[in-house]
Amino acid sequence: MDWVTALPPGGDRSYNACVVLVDRYSKTPIFLPCHKDDTAIDTAIMICNKGISHTGLSQNIISDRDPKFTSVLWTNLHSFLGTKVSFSTAYYPQTDGLAETMIQTLEDMIRRFCAYALEL
């Protein structure tokens, strides 16, 4: 679980960020558009409603150390759901490398799409 921020706003709701969830077994990414100023509660509701419904509930979740993911709300939510949270360490891509790879792919796709749209 990781964040992509500083995206150009777009769409009806002007999303400017994205939460990236990656299923470790199927390697399937889920990109959830959001706003970078969403609260931890907004993010938790979005992940429960849109993310878990696609992948199911994991026993172990690897997350970066974003303040939204380290808050008391998230600790209580994972305790309630019975999941274990492992936080990735900075500059150690083996921990959360799958999400980082998907983020790089997403940013590359957005960059190419925007360049193509400007050519039209």
Question: For residue 17, how many other CB atoms are within 10 A of its CB?
Answer: 18
In the DSSP assignment, the letter for residue 50 is I
Which pairing describes strands 29-34 and 84-87: parallel, antiparallel, or unpaired?
Answer: unpaired
Give the C-alpha separation, 106 to 3, whole Å. Answer: 12
Q: How confident is the model at residue 87 (pLDDT cuts 50, 70, 90)?
A: confident
pTM of the model: 0.72
| 99 in Cβ contact with 92 (< 8 Å) | no
Q: The domain spanning residue 52 has which CATH number?
A: 3.30.420.10
Q: How confident is the model at residue 5 (pLDDT cuts 50, 70, 90)?
A: confident
How many domains are contained in the chain? 1
List pLDDT tens digits, range 28-72: 888 899 898 888 888 888 888 888 887 777 777 877 777 777 788
Most confident of the ranges 54-63, 85-94, 100-109: 100-109
| Range(s) of the domain holding residue 80 | 2-119
